[in-house]
Chain A
Amino acid sequence: MLRWLGRNALRAYTGLALVYLLLPIFIVALFSFNDPVGKTNYTWVGFTLSHWANLFAIPGLLDSVVVSLRIAFISTLAATTLGTLAALALVRYQFRGRPATSLFIFLPLATPEIILGASLLTLFVAIGQPPFFPLNEFTILIAHITFNISYVIVTVRARLSGFDRRLEEASADLGADGWQTFWRVTFPLILPGIAAASLLAFSLSIDDFVITNFTAGRTTTFPMFVWGSARVGVPPQVNAIGTIFFVVAVSAVAIGSFLQRRRA
């Protein structure tokens, strides 16, 4: 009996941990098929596919999803580019202000979101009274790029610090100039780090609520839409869209790790 327990305790514990992590997500997905009575979607009534069929029947939902995706794409692209270049500079070169830069990169990671959001709002209002610097999608973008750069730098820098500089010397030795060496040797080798960084940035951007709420003005992102509708009752379509996001994210990570395993 004791031996049986010893052999299976770890399995049982692992199973419980997985249930603990996945149960809320399962509930979200499950209730996208619920057919609720009235505005609240908290008790199981009956199965229906109508919310999936009429995904964007709720006014404003589609717009908010489009806004969120656009912000996530652009901020990811910008933060990944700038962050990768910054990480390269920080790892490769000694320059004045390098230690200070390293410190500043950690500030957005360490600062509570609510402080970051409030200070960005203060900044945007201070540098231009509307209409000169209106709060809109553009200010959300600036805010998202700001915190995403830090995450990208930290991720890419980790990949770069294990990089064998002799490979770049070998490339130069074989006649490649700096540009060719970057694209033929450095970039392909740090690409997994850059991909991981951009996945992280995308997911941070698409579900950010606190900072976005401060800098959005009249713009509504998907998380803000959910928050707004929660006060009167979250429509099941929100569950459906959440489920789609989840499936897409998990597939992206699965495909990524599959590709990486095949390359190795």
Chain B
Amino acid sequence: MADVDVRLVNVTKKFGDQTAVDGITLDVSDGEFFTLLGPSGCGKTTTLRMIGGFEQPTSGLIELKGEDVTFLPAHERDVNTVFQSYALFPHLTIFENVAFGLRRSGIKGDEVTSRVGEALELVQLIGYEKRKPAQLSGGQAQRVALARALVNRPAVLLLDEPLGALDLKLRKQMGIELKRIQREVSITFIYVTHDQEEAMTMSDRIAVMNKGHYEQLAGPETLYERPTTRFVASFVGASNLLEGKIGSDGESWTVTLPSGDVVRAPKSLGDIGTGGAIGVRPEKLTLLEPGQESKGNRLDGTVVDTSYLGVLTQYTVEGAGGLRLLVSEQNVDRTTRSDTWRPGERVALTWKPEHGFVVGDSKSA
């Protein structure tokens, strides 16, 4: 494991009697692309602002490269920020915007010119030096903000929803670009977003935040395949959660649904606790004719909605007791029949127990 770049120990931030960040402890490694993912108001931006030095924690410790920076003012920290609104200086040219940090650290003359040039080349904005921020498009302003931060070669780069103001196409393109730049400069990125797709495509590790703390910290694949809380299961991708009476049967957890059906998941997938549930992603479910034989978990139901989406077809199936399940089926090599299923048809839903996941007791109400 690489060196720890940023360490948060039990960091809490209160605004009046509102707790924005509630005892976060985490380590970010050197050169990592680390993402704080969560809905608005979950405390992700406040956490980032505390690392940047714009807010001071109510309690807890923040370390940067092993040094306690909890109360160090922003201008003395070896971190730079790409702000959501970019915050380019409107009265300065692009060159002077990018050179701002270099000049503050006493760098002069040719070195300023060459390093600003390098930074603008990195974000592919050579030739824009003399323009003012008002003459740039949103995507270009975003690149300048990135160059202005990176030119200082900080230990850590903080990014606060940097793609939030861009349209969908540009956002995807800039996302790929960001990942390329991060690999090229090998600086630790701490990225804040509410967009799970963005987080999944770029990050090495993601902390999924909810109500001031993170519920799960893992790589994109683990978060998707093995979410450990109901919140993570529903925030990252789509999920079917099967709630009921929890039991144990040898190597499996069992959940007895209100309809009386029993579903299973191996205990090796995680601890179900006393209030957990078994979950399964829509694409792990297979649809069968009601009479067909199957192994593993099986529920009967009726198709209530069919949406053909090109790559896949999405079904909503209603089981006994009103339980609704989402199913996605690839539109190639269908397992059971060549047509899509139509609303009203009776089906059986099956999946292998080891393809499910287990969520534990909810940490928050």
A residues lining the B interface (CB < 8 Å): 164, 166-167, 169-177, 180-181, 184-185, 188-189, 263-264
Contact = CB atoms under 8 A, between A and B. Distances in A.
A181 B89 CA distance: 11
B38 interface: no
B156 to A, nearest CB: 12
B87 A175 contact: no
B295 interface: no
B231 interface: no
Nearest to B105: A175
Nearest to A177: B75
Size class of the B contact interface (CB-based, 8 Å): 20 to 34
Contacts, number: 62
B181 interface: no
A206 B54 CA distance: 45
B86 to A, nearest CB: 9
A173 B75 contact: yes
Contact of B81 (A173, A176, A189, A264): A173
Contacts of A176: 75, 100, 104
A264 to B, nearest CB: 8
B31 interface: no
B87 A164 contact: yes
B152 A175 contact: yes
A47 to B, nearest CB: 50
Contacts of A169: 54, 74, 81, 83, 87
A172 B74 contact: yes
8 contacts: A167-B90, A169-B54, A170-B89, A171-B75, A173-B54, A174-B100, A175-B101, A175-B104
A166 to B, nearest CB: 4
A255 B74 CA distance: 39
B79 to A, nearest CB: 8
B91 interface: yes
B150 to A, nearest CB: 12
A164 B87 CA distance: 8
Per CB-CB distance, the 3 closest pairs between chain A and chain B, nearest first, are: A174-B101, A175-B104, A170-B87
B356 interface: no
A166 B87 contact: yes
Contact of B80 (A166, A174, A181, A188): A174
Given A171-B75, A173-B54, 20 more contacts: A164-B85, A167-B89, A169-B74, A169-B87, A170-B87, A170-B88, A170-B89, A172-B54, A173-B75, A173-B79, A173-B80, A173-B149, A174-B100, A174-B104, A174-B152, A175-B76, A177-B75, A184-B100, A263-B91, A264-B134
Interface string B125-156: 00000000010000000000000110010000
Interface string B50-71: 0011100000000000000000
A173 B91 contact: no
B164 interface: no
Contacts of B148: 174
A189 B90 contact: yes
Nearest to B80: A173
Contacts of B100: 171, 174, 176, 184
A160 to B, nearest CB: 15
Contacts of A185: 89
B91 A189 contact: yes
A170 B92 CA distance: 13
Contacts of B73: 172
Contacts of A174: 75, 80, 100-101, 104, 148-149, 152
A177 B87 CA distance: 17
A164 B88 CA distance: 10
A12 to B, nearest CB: 39
A175 B148 CA distance: 12
Given A166-B83, A167-B89, A188-B91, A173 B104 contact: no
A189 B132 CA distance: 14
Contacts of B149: 173-174
A94 B79 CA distance: 29
A50 B88 CA distance: 58
Contacts of B81: 169-170, 173
Contacts of A180: 104
Contacts of A173: 52-54, 74-75, 79-81, 149
A176 B85 CA distance: 19
Contacts of B75: 171-177, 181
A176 B152 CA distance: 13
Nearest to A166: B87
Nearest to B49: A169
A39 to B, nearest CB: 55
